[in-house]
Amino acid sequence: MWHGRFSEPTADEVKAFTESISYDWRLYRFDIMGSIAHATMLAEIKILTLEERDQIIKGLREIEQEIQSGKFVFKPELEDIHMNIESALTERIGPAGGKLHTARSRNDQVALDTRLYTRHEIRQIQEAIRELQRSLVAFARRYEKVIMPGYTHMQRAQPTLFAHHMLAYVEMLQRDHGRLEDAFKRVNVMPLGSSAIAGSTIPLNRELVATLLDFPAITHNSMDAVSDRDYLIEVMSALALVGVHLSRLCEDVILWASSEFKFIVISDSYTTGSSLMPQKKNPDIAELTRGKTGRLFGNLVSLLTTMKGLPMTYNRDMQEDKEAFFDSVETAKSSLLIMAKMMSHIVLTEPRIKISVNDASLLATDMADYLVKKGVPFRTAHEVIGKMVGHCVQEHKALTDLTLEKMREFSTAFEKDITSVLSLEASITSRTSTGAPSYVNVARELERWDKHLTDPKYPVRK
Ligand code: ARG
């Protein structure tokens, strides 16, 4: 493409080192989409005749078909997807193909292609997030009334509902969805026409290209437009957080599937065995998803590092954005989708959960709250119950084993109605403040999520 200035051909090892076609072929649809819009605009401003425009569009569509059906032969010596397509077009249609690159550089072309690709993939990933959210809500619904111990510091803390625990992940994923939506706005800006660095002397109609490609806005600084990769970093950062959330969910799944917990059983079809130990049934999907989070972080840090020292404007370093970005997209998408499937292949071992939740110390805070309602200052109540717990530990008793008489030795504020507090069901029922896991609250939340996840127009919150 640049033989005019060169008298020696590119060395083979240089071709091998600089090529990106082995991975940026993924941009082909978007490259062709962008070229069709560019050609349409060039005809509009009379740089191309209508015949040339039509020849170009027809040629590009044929190439697209060939790539789609796997017939197209990519040439590494043509470096990247942009030159592979342009060269195939010229081979096919002759001189008109040579006019397509008018007022365009690969610098603004690649920026356009990656923005189109990112726009498309954001929507795919958002749908994968929805899939997992739906699966979690369905899982929560299957066990809507199951009470389980809630943990802090991995120590039993207070009773909660299993459904509430699952909905916590639905909330996290909702923020991920929102972050991608926010990033989408900044991805959705049209850079073509910035050309190599300083726009063009040809009077381009950039607004027309934007309209054809359904961009609501265009870039306003040609130098920034060809050197900006913020939009990729933002999305990768949102995906790194998706990874954090998936990894935490996986950690719960792995822990609950352990012999020590046995809270859940994952179906055979969603676990794997050991080549050596016949008894093993391992939660590999959850482990791999937790492990792949490392890639999502690594890819983000990789591109941040690539960009940090770059002078204006385009530098070839920026070609390194793609492998990392493609990998983050694929990793996040496949992890979300497999997790959605796996969650629907888990059953709770309710008797085991019952044993764990049948720990009266989970009600200690409820008892302190009881004293508060009787007028005892919370700090005093905390101390009273603390002493009772200490007493029970020494006597190998449960808090619920204490008689009213015994309780009154610790505080005279205890009355007959304390019995109404001393049950898990009562504890759950009375957790009615907004965001707390009473049966009524959780049922309402499930309802809201169901509606929102069926029709996103229905807001989760009023
Ligand atoms: N393959 C290149 C990339 O991904 C396209 C832009 C190349 N531009 C250039 N001036 N060499 O960054």
Residue with token string 């997030």: 129
| 445 vs 438: CA distance, rounded Å | 11
Mean pLDDT to the nearest integer, 297-318 = 98
Mean residue pLDDT of the chain comes to 97
Q: What is the pLDDT of residue 369?
A: 96
- Identify any residues that bridge with 246 across adjacent strands, giving them in sequence order: none
Task: Give me 261's structure tokens.
Answer: 């917990």
Residue 4: pLDDT above 90? no
How many helices and strands, by DSSP H and E, does the chain display?
A: 18, 6
Active site residues: 153, 274
Confidence class of residue 274 from pLDDT cuts 50, 70 and 90?
confident
Q: What is the pLDDT of residue 194?
A: 98
Mean pLDDT to the nearest integer, 326-338 = 98
Span from the CA of 128 to the centroid of ligand 1 (angstroms): 31
Compute the radius of gyration of the chain from its Cα atoms. 30
For ligand 1, whether the C-beta of 20 sits within 6 Å is: yes
Q: What is the pTM of this model?
A: 0.96
| 294 vs 246: CA distance, rounded Å | 12
Residue 5: pLDDT above 90? no
Amino acid symbol at 195? S
Residues 204-213 pLDDT 10s: 999 999 999 9
Q: What is the pLDDT of residue 152?
A: 97
Q: Is there a contact between 91 and 297 (Cβ–Cβ < 8 Å)?
A: no
Q: Is there a contact between 282 and 271 (Cβ–Cβ < 8 Å)?
A: yes
Residues 405-455 pLDDT 10s: 999 999 999 999 999 999 999 999 999 999 999 999 999 999 999 999 999
In this structure, which residue's CA is closest to atom 3 in ligand 1? 319
Q: Among 83, 107, 117, 316, name the best residue to mutate to test ligand 1's pocket (greatest count of ligand atoms within 8 A of Cβ).
A: 316
Length of the chain as a residue count = 462
Neighbours of 53 (CB within 10 A): 21
> How far is CA 359 from its chain centroid?
37
Mean pLDDT to the nearest integer, 167-188 = 98
Task: Give me 373's structure tokens.
Answer: 């309602």
Span from the CA of 41 to the centroid of ligand 1 (angstroms): 23
Residues with Cβ within 8 Å of residue 210, at least 6 apart in sequence: 190, 216, 217, 218
Q: Among 1, 23, 85, 107, name the best residue to mutate to test ligand 1's pocket (greatest count of ligand atoms within 8 A of Cβ).
A: 107
Residue 3: pLDDT above 80? no
Cα dihedral across residues 87, 91, 97, 98: positive or negative: positive
Q: Is there a contact between 39 and 100 (Cβ–Cβ < 8 Å)?
A: yes
Residue 72: pLDDT above 90? yes
- Identify any residues that bridge with 152 across adjacent strands, giving them in sequence order: 155
Span from the CA of 293 to the centroid of ligand 1 (angstroms): 29
